[in-house]
Amino acid sequence: MKNVERLSKLIALAIAVSLVGAGSVSAVSSSFKSSVVGSRSAAKCPAVTAPPLYGGLDEVVAAARRILIRGSVELQQGTVKLTKKNSRIHAVVSLTRTGGTPFPGLNALRAAAAKRCGAGTMEASWAVKIGRPSMLASTSARTAFLVKTKSGWKTY
């Protein structure tokens, strides 16, 4: 159990470093809004069961690949099909309150998810940071929220 907790903390730290960088948490919050996949007006909030179905890390990664890595993007050099090779998953973090010490950036993720679909959905969700092919490295990563429902994994 301690190894799982340590692994969770290491993953959380890696996400915090990738989200926060050298800036502050408030800087993450403002830049985060522009890097999150979709918007509230376009997002349809999934129905979360009571009690929530949290799923595991492997399930989240598989669902993220299935849901988020599809289609293609238009770049200056032409159309690029999204694949596992060019759309890597950089980080995955559970937004569920665990009672531990929150890492920098977690509150910004939780606030963005709660703003979109409410606290109940946010508590059962995962944040996934995924890379996308792009000309500019600063715009190549996006964050999406995934939640497990009775009918499978949904993004919002």
pLDDT, position 25: 31
Q: Does the reported pTM lie above 0.75?
A: no
Burial label for 53, CB within 10 Å (0-12, 13-18, 19+), is middle
**13-33: b (≥16 Cβ within 10 Å) or e:** ebbbeebbeeeebeebbeebe
> How many independent structural domains does the chain possess?
1
DSSP state of 134: -
In which domain, by residue range, is 126 found? 2-155
In angstroms, rounded to a whole number, what is the distance separating the alpha carbons of residues 136 and 114?
A: 29
150, amino acid identity: K
Q: Is the dihedral of CA 113, 117, 123, 128 positive or negative?
A: negative
In angstroms, rounded to a whole number, what is the distance separating the alpha carbons of residues 140 and 133?
A: 6
| Per-residue model confidence as pLDDT tens digits over 26-38 | 223 333 333 444 4
| Per-residue model confidence as pLDDT tens digits over 48-84 | 887 788 888 999 999 999 998 888 888 887 888 888 8
Q: How confident is the model at residue 136 (pLDDT cuts 50, 70, 90)?
A: low
